């Protein structure tokens, strides 16, 4: 609901509503500093040449960044709940601007990876509190609509990243994919003056540093294990992750101010919902892994045309997210919407599994758009269910949890989907492996929809 110190936005005059709309746009602009990191993928060949790297070494540009921000999300979400979401968000924008400048000026590959870790900290600061800020602007009555707009802006950044990255790299070289986000961060920082800078502390209990360390260690080693699934080290990393996360859960069960309450994991259907989010995002991320290689094999497509076709999936999410927010606002159950989203992801992936080298461009775009629409609906409805399930005072943790499960799904896909594709390609060749991999991904998405349809409804608290 609206803050006691501010007018209720639902009863405010039109100019104040416009102000809230401006603020949510600026939060989206600030969040774009992280989402536009998809532009870096297009610059991989230039980075490889610039530092004289082997192609396999480029993966650490992604790993160092993703490991850092994913492992910090929940802890920083709790800090935002304690200190104030707007303060943490602003610090994140400043931190991100400095880190982006440093990455572009990195004198060596080792320095670049270090600065990418710094960039990951900035992304975690921004992302951990962005959902909480967005939902606070319009109150609980309009939570669905605000989350729809937020999800749309996240998808828009995902869509624009590859398109901008190719242009910028061609004109100014690979540092430009980092530097162009600096004015975006500064603009968001300057134009967010209307957002309250602080809120009363959640409690006087403080922040559990040891739990945070255990959580970060557990998540880092988990992500590393997923990335190294084909190597023996994955077993030891998995065991270390299990040990660290078990220690985290033990401390949380006895903490007066837990980072995330153990009780929330016992809510009917809540643990399953988060597992399904990982699986659905795993299935959906197969598009970003395999479609570029398929398009590269089709004669007649330029790099720019291939990028535009690939962006159609994100465009579907851009279109679907605000519509989904309106549906939730009109009392359409978000639990049903998240199930429909998972099924629609499956339908889109099933269309992709039928691609051949002769498939018309319009049908390629149609399959990607359907998958994108499903992903937009799923991520929006999932975020709404999670934020409703946790108390209002835990809104930073809720938003961070939604982003964390998404990241776990994409990191798992990078190992599992590629492993499956490579195994199938040895036996059947590229096209058959492509089709069979997307058929498996579609079946996984349909299975997640079935699990959601049969699972108990997650109760809401806020």
Q: Average pLDDT in the 301-322 region? A: 82
Note whether 277 and 149 are same-domain residues. Answer: no
Please say which residue of 173, 193, 213 terminates a domain. Answer: 193
Note whether 185 and 279 are same-domain residues. Answer: no
Note whether 184 and 269 are same-domain residues. Answer: no
Residues 6+ apart with CB under 8 A from 219: 70, 71, 241, 245, 404
Residue 292 has pLDDT above 90, yes or no: no
Measured distance CA(389)–CA(397) in Å, rounded = 11
pLDDT digits (tens, 9 = 90+) for 162-182: 778 878 888 888 899 999 999
Rounded percentage of the chain residues whose pLDDT exceeds 70: 88
- pLDDT-based confidence at residue 426 (cuts at 50, 70, 90): confident
Residue 8 has pLDDT above 70, yes or no: no
Residue 206 has pLDDT above 70, yes or no: no
Most confident of 232-236, 327-331, 393-397, 447-451: 447-451
- pLDDT-based confidence at residue 249 (cuts at 50, 70, 90): confident
What pLDDT score was predicted for residue 105? 93
Q: Where are the beta strands (DSSP E) in 368-416?
A: none
| Residue of higher predicted confidence among 322 and 344 | 344
Please say which residue of 137, 166, 193 terminates a domain. Answer: 193
pLDDT digits (tens, 9 = 90+) for 177-192: 999 999 999 998 888 7
Q: Average pLDDT in the 118-124 region? A: 95
Residue 203 has pLDDT above 70, yes or no: no
Q: State how many domains the chain has.
A: 2
Give the pTM: 0.80
The verdict on residue 220 lying in a domain is no
Residue 51 near residue 212 (C-beta atoms within 8 A): no
Give DSSP secondary structure letters for 410-434.
HHHHHHHHHHHHHHHHHHH-HHHHH
The verdict on residue 103 lying in a domain is yes
What tokens does 162 get? 């590859």
Please say which residue of 159, 193, 227 terminates a domain. Answer: 193
The verdict on residue 200 lying in a domain is no
The verdict on residue 343 lying in a domain is yes
Residue 431 has pLDDT above 50, yes or no: yes
Q: Average pLDDT in the 440-450 region? A: 95
Note whether 149 and 293 are same-domain residues. Answer: no
- pLDDT-based confidence at residue 99 (cuts at 50, 70, 90): very high
What pLDDT score was predicted for residue 16? 41
Q: Average pLDDT in the 265-291 region? A: 85
Lowest mean pLDDT: which of 103-107, 156-160, 340-344?
A: 156-160
pLDDT digits (tens, 9 = 90+) for 373-409: 999 999 888 888 888 777 767 767 777 787 788 888 8
What pLDDT score was predicted for residue 269? 78
pLDDT digits (tens, 9 = 90+) for 342-375: 999 999 999 999 998 889 999 999 999 999 999 9
Note whether 404 and 275 are same-domain residues. Answer: yes
What pLDDT score was predicted for residue 199? 52
Q: How far is CA 238 from CA 218, 227, 307, 419, in A?
A: 9, 11, 36, 18
Note whether 22 and 99 are same-domain residues. Answer: yes
Kindly report the backbone phi and psi dihedral angles of residue 52, in degrees, each rounded to the nearest multiple of 5, phi listed first: 55, 55
The verdict on residue 383 lying in a domain is yes
Note whether 29 and 141 are same-domain residues. Answer: yes
Residue 387 near residue 462 (C-beta atoms within 8 A): yes
What pLDDT score was predicted for residue 194? 61
What pLDDT score was predicted for residue 15? 46
Lowest mean pLDDT: which of 65-74, 252-261, 273-282?
A: 252-261
Note whether 308 and 180 are same-domain residues. Answer: no
The verdict on residue 224 lying in a domain is no
Most confident of 44-48, 229-233, 247-251, 275-279: 275-279
Residue 453 has pLDDT above 80, yes or no: yes
Task: Supply the DSSP symbol for 232.
Answer: T
Residue 79 near residue 198 (C-beta atoms within 8 A): no
Note whether 64 and 158 are same-domain residues. Answer: yes
Residue 14 has pLDDT above 50, yes or no: no
| Residue of higher predicted confidence among 282 and 9 | 282
Kindly report the backbone phi and psi dihedral angles of residue 229, in degrees, each rounded to the nearest multiple of 5, phi listed first: -55, -30
The verdict on residue 246 lying in a domain is no
Residue 448 has pLDDT above 80, yes or no: yes
Residue 73 near residue 128 (C-beta atoms within 8 A): yes
What pLDDT score was predicted for residue 233? 85
The verdict on residue 1 lying in a domain is no
Q: Average pLDDT in the 301-329 region? A: 82
What tokens does 134 get? 């967005």
Residue 223 near residue 71 (C-beta atoms within 8 A): yes
Residue 155 has pLDDT above 90, yes or no: no
Residue 337 near residue 376 (C-beta atoms within 8 A): no
Domain that holds residue 105: 9-193
SS3 sequence, 253-298?
HHCCCCCCCHHHHCCCCHHHHHHHHHHHHHHHCHHHHHHHHHHHCC
Note whether 309 and 403 are same-domain residues. Answer: yes
CATH number at residue 77: 1.20.1250.20
Residue 439 has pLDDT above 60, yes or no: yes
CA angle 48, 52, 53 (to 5 degrees): 60
Residues 6+ apart with CB under 8 A from 1: 8, 139, 140, 141, 392
């Amino acid at each position: 609901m609206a803050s006691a110190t501010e007018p209720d936005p639902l009863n405010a005059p039109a100019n104040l509503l416009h102000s809230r709309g401006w603020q949510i746009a600026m939060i989206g602009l600030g969040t774009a500093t992280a989402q536009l990191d998809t532009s870096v993928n297009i610059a991989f060949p230039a980075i490889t040449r610039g530092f004289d790297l082997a192609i396999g070494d480029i993966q650490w540009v992604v790993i160092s960044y993703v490991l850092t921000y994913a492992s910090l999300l929940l802890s920083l979400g709790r800090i935002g709940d304690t200190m104030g979401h707007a303060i943490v968000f602003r610090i994140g924008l400043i931190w991100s601007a400095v880190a982006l400048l440093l990455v572009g000026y990195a004198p060596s590959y080792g320095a670049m990876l270090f600065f990418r870790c710094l960039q990951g900290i900035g992304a975690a600061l921004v992302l951990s509190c962005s959902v909480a800020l967005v939902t606070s602007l319009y109150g609980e009555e309009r939570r669905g609509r605000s989350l729809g707009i937020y999800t749309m802006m996240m998808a828009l950044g995902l869509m624009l990243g590859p398109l901008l990255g190719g242009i910028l790299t061609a004109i100014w070289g690979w540092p430009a994919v980092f530097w162009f986000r600096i004015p975006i961060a500064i603009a968001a920082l300057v134009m967010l003056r209307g957002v309250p800078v602080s809120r009363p502390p959640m409690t006087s209990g403080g922040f559990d540093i040891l739990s945070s360390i255990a959580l970060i260690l557990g998540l880092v080693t988990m992500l590393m294990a997923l990335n190294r699934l084909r190597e023996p080290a994955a077993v030891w990393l998995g065991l270390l992750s299990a040990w660290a996360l078990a220690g985290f859960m033990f401390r949380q069960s006895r903490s007066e101010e837990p980072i995330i309450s153990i009780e929330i994991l016992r809510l009917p259907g809540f643990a399953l919902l988060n597992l399904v989010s990982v699986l659905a995002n795993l299935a959906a991320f197969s598009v970003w892994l395999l479609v570029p290689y398929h398009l590269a094999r089709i004669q007649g497509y330029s790099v720019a045309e291939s990028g535009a076709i690939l962006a159609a999936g994100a465009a579907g999410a851009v279109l679907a997210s605000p519509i989904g927010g309106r549906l939730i606002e009109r009392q359409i159950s978000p639990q049903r919407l998240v199930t429909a989203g998972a099924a629609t992801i499956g339908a889109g992936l099933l269309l992709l599994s039928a691609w051949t080298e002769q498939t018309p461009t319009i049908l390629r775009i149609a399959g990607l758009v359907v998958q994108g629409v499903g992903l937009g609906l799923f991520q929006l409805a999932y975020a709404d269910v999670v934020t409703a399930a946790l108390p209002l005072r835990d809104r930073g943790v809720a938003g961070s949890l939604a982003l964390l499960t998404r990241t776990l799904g994409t990191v798992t896909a990078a190992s599992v989907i590629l492993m499956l594709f490579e195994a199938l390609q040895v036996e059947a060749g590229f096209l058959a492996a492509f089709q069979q991999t997307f058929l498996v991904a579609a079946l996984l998405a349909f299975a997640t929809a079935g699990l959601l349809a049969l699972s108990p409804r997650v109760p809401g608290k806020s």
